[in-house]
Amino acid sequence: MAERGRFLVLEGIDGCGKTTQIEQLRRWLPHSGLMPAGAELLVTREPGGTPLGQALRQQLLHPPGEAAPCSTAELLLYAADRAQHVQERVRPALQAGHWVLCDRFSGSTAAYQGYGRGLSLELIDQLTLVATGGLQPDLTVLLEIPLEESLRRRGHRTADRIEAAGEAFLARVCAGFAALAAQGGWRRLDACRRPDAVTADLQAAITALVAAPPGQG
């Protein structure tokens, strides 16, 4: 049986540079010498990492007309997306010895629906456990930028339903990410710097991870 692969997650508010950094890691990791021979890199995201998840993503971020979910329904839809994602894509890849690089995971749910919407963090933890079966990332990196920088970077781009919830909501999300990173042992990187400097720190963090035993999932 292949050694369990590594599970890497990038978190942060919109505009923090996750898309840019994930693309850099997509190019670098397979040629970095860190992945075992035969291991592949699965790059995925939440919500939307499966066909079901793509439909849920549309409903969550761009619902038609008056079809927007309430806060509790929103939380349950994210949990459904995660359950399908873990079972269909993430866990099978890790068990086969492949690596998984994911744009958002359970930390985003705690930050947005917990700290942002004010839903119970205990309930969110319970739903996360059900959805993931206890699977946890080997490394979670928070790309940190101030809310003002997030808004500047987004500019006049059309906001999705979550982004359009208002600055007070997004400020709570930012505070939530900081609290989660402090409690959960995440790696925190200043994402206001040049992208190549952030990339270098990400590569260093992943290189250091290889020296540690894989997590349990």
What's the CATH number for 7-210? 3.40.50.300
Q: SS3 for the chain, per residue? A: CCCCCCEEEEECCCCCCHHHHHHHHHHHHHHCCCCCCCCCEEEEECCCCCHHHHHHHHHHHCCCCCCCCCHHHHHHHHHHHHHHHHHHHHHHHHHCCCEEEEECCHHHHHHHHHHHCCCCHHHHHHHHHHHHCCCCCCEEEEEECCHHHHHHHHCCCCCCCCHHHCHHHHHHHHHHHHHHHHHHCCEEEECCCCHHHHHHHHHHHHHHHHCCCCCCC
Q: Is pLDDT of 114 > 50? A: yes
Task: Give 96-113 pLDDT, tens digit per residue.
Answer: 999 999 999 999 999 999
Q: What is the pLDDT of residue 216?
A: 44
Q: What is the pLDDT of residue 213?
A: 60
pTM over 0.85: yes
